Amino acid sequence: MSYLLKNLTGMNGMSDQVVATDMLITAKAGVKNLAVALTETATPEVRNVLKQHLDTAIQTHENLTAYMMDKGYYHPYNVQEQLQVDMKSADTSLNLVKG
């Protein structure tokens, strides 16, 4: 998104947060899906491949979580701070709709 467009929409820093949040949600779903697939697998070869993919997915989730915490987008250990971030995001979204 261009600088001008970000200013017009009020999303100066929000686009990075939105992308990171979407990636974190996707990574979490990937971990869940791989874990389920692993429990349904019958052959040791497929199980080993899925375990490797699961390890990678867990590491990806951990990296994204650390990134978001470093940027101040995600506060998993402080509900009040996370609530403030979520409310700001919701307000920005509502303001975009009202436009």
State the chain's maximal CA–CA distance in angstroms.
55
Look at residue 13 and tell me whether its pLDDT is greater than 60: no
**CA dihedral of 45, 48, 52, 53, whole degrees rounded to 10:** 60
Look at residue 11 and tell me whether its pLDDT is greater than 90: no
Tokens of residue 49, six digits: 């491949």
Mean pLDDT calculated for residue range 88-93? 82
What per-residue confidence (pLDDT) applies to 10?
A: 53
What per-residue confidence (pLDDT) applies to 93?
A: 76
In sequence order, the 6+-apart residues with CB closer than 8 A to the CB of 40 are none
Tokens of residue 90, six digits: 């919701």
